[in-house]
Structure 1
Amino acid sequence: MAAPTRAYSSSSSSPSQRPPLLPRKFPSSGFEIIDPSIKVEEENLPFYDPKIFYPARIGQVIHDRYQVVAKLGYGTTATTWLCHDLVHHHYVTLKIHVNLLPHVREVDILRYLKTFDSEHEGRNHIRMVDDAFRIEGPHGTHEVLVLPPMSLSLRALQEKMPTGVFDVELAKAALPQVLLALDFLHGVANIDVHAGNLLVGISDDSYLEHFAEAELTRPSARKQVSDELTIHDSQLLMAGHGPLYLCDFGEARIGDEHKGVAMPIQHRAPEILLDVDWDWAIDMWSVGLLAWNLLEPKPLFTIYDADNKELNEAHHLVNRSC
């Protein structure tokens, strides 16, 4: 394992008075081995290249401090891992970015948000960063965010509903929390507000210890690609019913005037489609779509032709004017 580089921001939590914990020894056998011919997790991304993702593995200690306990998920720009902070004796989530990014915008945005009014109620609905550092992988440098652990996203919860939609009362409870978060962000456009980026907070931290114990006694499935690369199966972290948190500020913008393409295709506000100036208010368009998508089994807008931008945007504008 390559040695980490120095951190470029310090943790906001106070140092533990207790000595650092020793790493746990996780099982090296007894788990399901996934057939090497089957694509799993990030391998299913259309652009997947094993050289761009950091090859984290369960049991590994990252940055001389964070022991990987379980894989929580993956996306186009990062993988996320539940880790035990051996210094502060608590659990955190590491978001390890691909090495293609010369700079991770989310680091700047989250640092900027930390300067905002700490008394604003909406701050309690933003997933703030605790720390950030860089690590060297086999094929380049990866930026890492240290974040509070969260439970499932609203999208994941909705997919578990028998009807595929939320009860009206649940949706009515969720939307005011989103609005509080956006009010706190005034002057910052998240531009990616949707059910997949709204995570449920953890109401009982003891669940995280049970989650770690489960990996020790019933280790999760994995695919051994090579001696250096193991792809772990992501685990669902279902841990109670805390408040909602707006997450993922990788595409966010600071300021009152912007121009150009933004937002996922099917979520784009009229300003984006018409190529006019836009600002943080486009997030309110996303709230409207969110309300629809929480209560209806089919999205209000879909991608009609991903290979034809002009035709796709024409369809969107037609639907918006009906």
Structure 2
Amino acid sequence: MSTTTPQPTSSPLRSFPTSGFEVLDPSVPVEEETLPTYSAEKYYPVHIGEVLGDRYQVVAKIGFGVTSTVWLGRDISTSQYAVLKVYVTGRERNHEIEVYERIEATQTDHLGKSCIRKLLGHFSIDGPHGRHVCLVHEPLGLSLYEYLFFLPGRIMEFESMKACLRQVIATLDWLHTEAGVIHTDLQLKNLLLPGSPTYLSRAETVEMNSPTPRKVLDDGRRTIHTSQIVVPGNGLPLLSDMGECRFVSTEKQFDEIMPNAYRAPEVILHMGWDEKVDIWNVAMLAWDIVSSRCLFQGWNADDIFADRVHVAEMVALLGPPPRDFVERSKVGHVFWDENNTWKDLAPIPDITLESLGAKFKEEERDKQGFYRFLRKALQWKPEDRPTARELINDEWLLEGLGIPKRDEVQ
């Protein structure tokens, strides 16, 4: 994949307001400052209106995270919009670029490849405290997480959820079998809906006419801008954020992966893992789309996320793990005794999928199909979980499409 290179300017730069916005209290953390690992020196001090990479004029802030801030930019050579992901310092060798290079190099007619957010290029910026890698992505809209806030109860109906899942699972099938990539971080925030050109232009207009609030620090050398919401267009979400991906290997991997509540059993128990962690996450994702309560809570009485509480909830929903599975783990004896009996490190809650889903409004037959689908993916043993290709042929998932069950994804 080639890097982004400067192009002749064919669109004039625009002058953004330097006053007329709400100046926020410097003592109150906002945006990336609220993150527990935040360090001002690690973040590039982006200013709206500046040009990055000799090509992209920053027109709005649209997001932030532990490793980067995200901006809407206008390509001054084409007047087209792009999304700029500006990484913190210390990431000169950017793994996400390596993943995208693998994806780009994989030739295929599998539709799953088209369901991944495109990387348009990349370049580096020298900041006051080091070098920053900047990825240039196609502009998209809201994440599925943000979109749910606009729905009653912050949940989707089953039929809409099924459509999203079919696309996600088809994408995983291509990633696992052809690209040799494991995502490891499937969650609502990493599924982005298509963007609307009208609303991209509107985001720039807002900054021109009614600039967003911000904090001005260090005598104007550093500004913490607040983010705009970019409204989505029509369509199914694309898989994004490939920074936590791993490559499929013939050997088990042992990296610490996945957000706490989404970790598969083999990750919690420090076993080797493979692409089946993504199948576990499909079930977690499906639940999050139709329920405002995360499937696994994991918090103890002191509001600290605890593995023993998390595993106790797994026992409640999945039943006790097979003995040979526990014996694979170097820490299995911490949770179960030699007879494979739970050591009562935390109480096993009185919950089932059915009790947690009691408020679902769908017909009972549809709910039972959903629970069966979840139980296929929520298996203690990774080898007992279906592949993505097998899971997409689930009868409940295909129900309503008017097509027979197929043996493979086309």
Scaled by the length of structure 2, the TM-score of the pair is: 0.72
Choose from 229, 252, 271 the match for 1:258: 252
1:240 is the counterpart of 2:261 = no
Q: Deviations over 1:211-260 (max 9, x none)?
A: 21221111111111122100000000003223311011111111233322
Q: Which amino acid aligns with 1:250?
A: G
Task: State the secondary structure of the residue aligned to 2:74.
Answer: strand
Counting only pairs closer than 5 Å after superposition, residues 56-205 of structure 1 correspond to structure 2 as 56-186=46-176, 187-202=180-195, 204-205=196-197
RMSD of aligned C-alpha atoms?
2.1
Runs of at least 5 residues in structure 1 that lack an aligned partner in the other structure: 1-7
Distance 2:234 2:16 in 1: 29
Task: State the secondary structure of the residue aligned to 2:99.
Answer: helix
Q: Which amino acid aligns with 1:197?
A: N
Q: Which amino acid aligns with 1:235?
A: Q
Q: Structure 1 runs of 4+ off > 6 angstroms?
A: none
Choose from 262, 273, 278 the match for 1:278: 273
Distance 1:299 1:96 in 2: 30
Choose from 19, 22, 39 the match for 1:49: 39
Q: Structure 1's 312 and 117: CA in aligned 2 closer, same or farther, altered over 3 A?
A: farther
CA contact (8 A) 2:17 2:211 kept: yes
Report deviation, 1:310.
Answer: 4.8
Report deviation, 1:274.
Answer: 3.0
1:220 is the counterpart of 2:217 = no
Distance 1:96 1:76 in 2: 11
What does residue 3 of structure 1 align with? none
CA contact (8 A) 1:9 1:133 kept: no
Single out whichever of 59-68 and 257-266 deviates more from structure 2.
Answer: 257-266
CA contact (8 A) 2:215 2:223 kept: yes
CA contact (8 A) 1:97 1:142 kept: yes
Choose from 310, 315, 318 the match for 2:315: 318
Distance 1:276 1:42 in 2: 33
Greater RCO (Cα-Cα under 8 Å, separation 6 or more):
1
What does residue 229 of structure 1 align with? 222
Report deviation, 1:10.
Answer: 2.7
| Higher radius of gyration, 1 or 2 | 2
Distance 1:234 1:303 in 2: 30
Q: Which amino acid aligns with 2:211?
A: P
The count of residues paired between Structure 1 and Structure 2 equals 311
Larger proportion of strand: 1
Distance 2:232 2:155 in 1: 21
Distance 1:296 1:94 in 2: 32
Distance 2:108 2:82 in 1: 22
- The alignment-based identity, stated in percent, is 37
Distance 2:119 2:101 in 1: 8
Report deviation, 1:102.
Answer: 4.5
Distance 1:149 1:165 in 2: 25
Report deviation, 1:320.
Answer: 4.8
Distance 2:118 2:233 in 1: 20
Task: State the secondary structure of the residue aligned to 1:258.
Answer: coil
What does residue 12 of structure 2 align with? 22
CA contact (8 A) 1:111 1:129 kept: no
Report deviation, 1:158.
Answer: 1.2
Larger proportion of helix: 2
Distance 2:198 2:160 in 1: 25
Runs of at least 5 residues in structure 2 that lack an aligned partner in the other structure: 320-410
Q: Which amino acid aligns with 1:32?
A: E
CA contact (8 A) 1:304 1:315 kept: no
Q: Structure 1's 137 and 320: CA in aligned 2 closer, same or farther, altered over 3 A?
A: farther
